[in-house]
């Protein structure tokens, strides 16, 4: 998402491990100040991932009641990436495991295990409804109404 010109208010923190057999990375984007909704943030992040290679799998995915996207694709250099994006508490989580073509077969199970290891901790902070309309907002499988009441 950092390459998205409309995302100037989004900051990200990258956590990664580089190994000879691949790279394992989590990026946490602070989306709160951008005003992006959950579906838009996930959609834009998935679109950026789709541009990184030839897509093999692109499906809806869920972690602890939070929906996102799971993508698997071949990179232009013949490597392979398994990635997913999720939204929680005004943060977008992007998790990727990438391996070069030479080591993909030997680390593919580690890549899947890493991508599926994401777990959220802490309390869920509900979004507030739009003050102008009072409309309910959808967040992680839940609807919230005025004053953040769960519906």
Residue boundaries of the structural domains of the chain: 11-120, 125-151
Confidence of residue 145 (pLDDT cuts 50, 70, 90): very low
Confidence grade of residue 111 (pLDDT, cut at 50, 70, 90): confident
DSSP for residue 90: T
The pLDDT value recorded for residue 31 is: 86
Residue 95 has a pLDDT of: 94
**pLDDT at 149 exceeding the cut of 60:** no
23-48 pLDDT, tens digit per residue, is: 999 999 988 778 788 899 999 999 99
Q: Which residues contact 5 (CB under 8 A, 6 or more apart)?
A: none
Neighbours of 140 (CB within 10 A): 20
Q: What is the mean pLDDT of the chain?
A: 80
3-state SS class at 127: coil
pLDDT of residue 43: 93
pLDDT at 77: 93
pLDDT tens by residue, 56-70: 999 999 988 888 999
| Residue 119 pLDDT grade (very low, low, confident, very high; cuts 50, 70, 90) | confident
The architecture (CATH level 2) of 11-120 comes to 3-Layer(aba) Sandwich (3.40)
Distance CA(16)–CA(65), nearest Å, equals 25
Distance set, CA 138 to CA 38, 43, 64, 96, 143 (Å): 8, 15, 15, 26, 5
C-alpha distances in Å from residue 123, one per residue of 45, 49, 130: 24, 29, 22
Q: What is the pLDDT of residues 62-98, one digit of tens each?
A: 988 888 999 999 999 999 999 999 999 889 999 999 9
Q: What's the first-to-final CA gap in the chain, in angstroms?
A: 31
């Amino acid at each position: 998402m950092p390459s998205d010109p409309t995302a100037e208010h989004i900051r990200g923190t990258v956590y990664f491990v580089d190994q000879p057999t691949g790279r394992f990375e989590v990026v946490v984007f602070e989306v709160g100040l951008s005003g992006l909704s959950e579906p838009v943030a996930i959609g834009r992040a998935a679109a950026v991932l789709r541009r990184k290679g030839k897509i093999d799998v692109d499906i809806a995915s869920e972690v602890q009641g939070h929906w996102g996207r799971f993508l698997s694709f071949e990179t232009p250099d013949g490597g392979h990436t398994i990635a997913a994006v999720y939204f929680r508490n005004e943060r977008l989580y992007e998790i990727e495991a990438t391996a070069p073509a030479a080591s993909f077969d030997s680390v593919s199970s580690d890549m899947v295990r890493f991508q599926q290891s994401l777990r959220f901790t802490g309390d869920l902070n509900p979004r507030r409804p739009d003050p102008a309309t009072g409309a309910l907002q959808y967040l992680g499988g839940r609807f919230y109404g005025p004053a953040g009441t769960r519906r």
